[in-house]
Amino acid sequence: MRHVDAQVPRRANRSAVLAHVLARGSATRTAIGQETGLSPATVSRIVDQLLTEGLLSEAGGPPSASRGRRATSLKIQTERTVVCGVDLGGSNVRIVVADLAARPLVTRTVPTPARCDATELGRWLAHLILDTVAAQLSSLDAVALGLPGAVRRDDRTVSNAPNLRQVEDPDFLRVLEQELGMDVELDNDSNYALLGELRFGAARDAQTAVMFTVGAGLGAGVALDRRLFHGRTGLVGEFGHLPAGPLGSSLEQLISGPGILNRARELGLLFDNPADVFHSTDPRLSPVKQHIEQALLIVLTAAVVAYEPEVIVLGGGISHALEPGLEQLNRRLRDIVPTAAPVQVAGLGDLSGALGAVVAALHTTYRRLGLADLHLTHVPHRDALAGFDLGAREVIA
């Protein structure tokens, strides 16, 4: 992140200064100059400009040893803008409204009206977002939405969303944006879940990471050099399609919630929640659990040999049911590939996707404020959630 004044355009220098403050929460002019390589004069000019624009605020500190000048701490003016991150699932919608520094202001979980058609779902979600943002609506700058399905980057078409087919209909996004009165950032929910874990959670120290979300389906996200890897059609990392199960059934059919419940039902055992299958001590479920573990090993091995990640994160509604067997799963994975990365449960729980969507929305806002793409992997501040209770949110039945 070092720059030489004469060789870098002014907007790149501005981006470096602003990114430094955003990435650390606060900074002094001296620290900014040392980190970026910019001259004191250049730093002062840019800081003064950002202070005038109201993007930064400055608080005095103790006098420095040099000429008695007071050291000052620069911080981002968080109250000027809010963003909204949305994780739309087949069962629930999770929403987080956050300030410019990524600190959550409002969190909300609402059941998804899965029987609505595409137009109704788009309108319902727009009104839910507007109602959740509420008093901060005039400050809302960006909305990012993660949904179950592959999203093409060029035209934002959605495919492969069997658990919520409505989102594949172009009318869903059209109505959503029309009702909101703004464009919406769009991506696969597993990609945003990984983005959240990269910034704040289990993958925060990794350059290359893979995340699998196990719930109503089996989703996947891949990050290389801390950037989401999308591919041409958005299907990168979707190993759940592999026909590696009995009689060529897909891995997703074995690992996902509906698949687990179906296997138990074939044995005459009825469960409402797939997590209960793992908690049950009924010996008849042993083959089911073994098949699930074997399917997971196939998926994890594929991820290791394809991307050599530094960490593999498990998220989604079933991930915590897998946690008691995680040590054994890691051991078996290392038996297959000795250099395999550790497999960990998501650090952000079921808010990974919504918080990742917050990061995506903030990146849109940061670009508008002048940040270059090369600085986005370092922001927002990785400790922005310090003191935030991940379990505290408004839940509406």
332-374: per-residue pLDDT in tens?
999 999 999 999 999 999 999 999 999 999 999 999 999 999 9
Matching residue, tokens 């594949």: 168
81-194+350-395 and 203-346 in the same fold: yes
| Cα 328 to Cα 270, 294, 297, 323, 331, distances in angstroms | 27, 12, 11, 10, 5
* pLDDT for res 160: 84
* pLDDT for res 184: 97
**258 class by beta-carbon count within 10 Å (0-12 exposed, 13-18 middle, 19+ buried):** middle
For residue 238 the two structure tokens come to: 């979707």
> Domain 81-194+350-395 in CATH: superfamily?
ATPase, nucleotide binding domain (3.30.420.40)
Domain boundaries of the chain, sorted by first residue: 5-76, 81-194+350-395, 203-346
Q: What is the topology classification, in CATH, of domain 203-346?
A: Nucleotidyltransferase; domain 5 (3.30.420)
Alpha helices in the chain, H assignment, sequence order: 10-24, 29-36, 40-53, 118-133, 170-180, 189-200, 251-255, 257-266, 275-279, 286-307, 319-322, 326-336, 352-369
* pLDDT for res 2: 54
Read off the pLDDT of residues 126-181 as tens digits, 9 standing for 90 and up.
999 999 999 899 999 999 999 998 899 888 999 988 789 999 999 999 999 999 99
Strands 218-224, 82-88: pairing kind:
unpaired
| Right CATH for 5-76 from 1.10.10.10, 3.40.1210.10, 3.40.50.300, 3.90.550.10 | 1.10.10.10
Strands 218-224, 394-395: pairing kind:
unpaired
* pLDDT for res 209: 97
Q: What is the pLDDT along the chain (397 residues), one digit of tens a residue?
A: 555 444 447 899 999 999 999 999 899 999 999 999 999 999 999 999 999 999 999 886 544 555 544 568 999 998 889 999 999 998 899 999 999 999 999 999 999 998 999 999 999 999 999 999 998 999 999 999 999 988 998 889 999 887 899 999 999 999 999 999 999 999 999 999 999 999 999 999 999 999 999 887 888 999 999 999 987 777 777 787 778 767 677 878 778 888 888 888 888 888 888 888 888 888 888 888 888 888 889 999 999 999 999 999 999 888 888 888 899 999 999 999 999 999 999 999 999 999 999 999 999 999 999 999 999 988 999 999 988 888 765 554 4
* pLDDT for res 105: 95
Strands 82-88, 140-147: pairing kind:
parallel
Residues 6+ apart with CB under 8 A from 166: 116, 117, 118, 121, 172
* pLDDT for res 170: 96
* pLDDT for res 67: 52
The amino acid sitting at 288 is: V
Ramachandran bin of 237, using left for φ above 0, alpha for ψ from -120 to 50, beta for the remaining angles: left
* pLDDT for res 194: 97
299, 293 in Cβ contact below 8 A? no
